[in-house]
Amino acid sequence: MDYIKGITFGAFAGEGEFEKKQAYDSLDKLIEGTGANYIVLVPNGLQDTPQSQEIDYISPANLSDSELIKMIEYIHSRGLKVALKPTVNCKNGTWRAHICFFDKDVPCEPKWSIWFKAYTDFQIHYAKIAQKYNVDMFIAGCEMVQSEHRETEWRNVISEVRKVYYGPVTYNTDKYQEDNVNWWDCVDYICSSGYYPINDWDTQLDRIERVVKKYNKPFFFAEAGCKSTIGSKNIPNDWTIQGNSSVEEQAEWYKEMFDAVNKRNFINGFFLWDWSIKLYPDKKASTDKGYDIYNKPAEKIVKAFYASK
């Protein structure tokens, strides 16, 4: 596979947000500032709690199909590839990794069987759009840690997606979970979220490489990033971390990650997290504490790394 020089753009955008001029202006700055060749878009599915069985993806909390399609077409017109990653979240704020039900169906209790039916419908809706509008990759979910042992159901999700979408299909597992998924053989690529502490990359890449060799599949990081907040380089997955801003620490983390990756030949790229629709003013970049890299030192590091691939 070609090296993925990707960025996640406008994740979990609400209705109308992709219709605004600022979204296209932001995307243009992403392309210019990073040298990316691939964009991943993340439609939002919402369930009330981790034990809810219904998934809503047509509410104002999510993009309309028409604006999503328009953005896909614009990205293609700019010469970049597009991946779709429909992702479930919980309205009560619980991280989706904690969505879970009893392993055996119990009367009067929420059930995996009902939830997976709703989840499959959610994925199929976007897989049809992906096929019709020539999306280059479909990622059938993200960081659903407590569900990943349900191998039969996940194989069925992938199988149903393949009935309507004929491009490459994969699944984004979470950090530290690469060797806990037993159904990598049914997807085209192995991918995960690469939020590893700055001093732990070599250890984790050793572990991931063993998984890649076992399944003999291409591997890439479907997410990776670090906030520009003091302390984030040691726990980059913690989006709630508090502290002063530090664009230098974010840049240090990116440099260490890329240095570690450059020593390996099994990693086929990144979808970095993330690039916002509405960018902060240039003069406020040095005080921004988020994952965004726009106009920060990390942006130049990313562009140089992507240019080298």
The series of mean pLDDT values per 10 residues for the chain, 309 residues long, is: 96 97 98 98 97 96 97 98 98 96 93 97 98 98 98 98 98 98 98 98 98 98 98 96 97 98 97 97 97 98 98
d(CA 136, CA 38): 9
d(CA 171, CA 118): 17
Three-state DSSP state, 255 = helix
Query: What's the CATH code of the domain at 79?
Result: 3.20.20.80
Cα first-last separation, the chain: 13
Whole-model pTM: value is: 0.97
Rg (C-alpha) for the chain, rounded Å, is 19
**Would you say 155 and 186 are in contact if contact means Cβ atoms under 8 Å apart?**
yes
Total domains in the chain come to 1
Predicted local distance difference test score (pLDDT) of residue 296: 98
Domain hosting 188: range is 4-307
Q: How many CB atoms lie within 10 A of CB 25?
A: 13
| Beta pairing partners, 170 | 139, 189
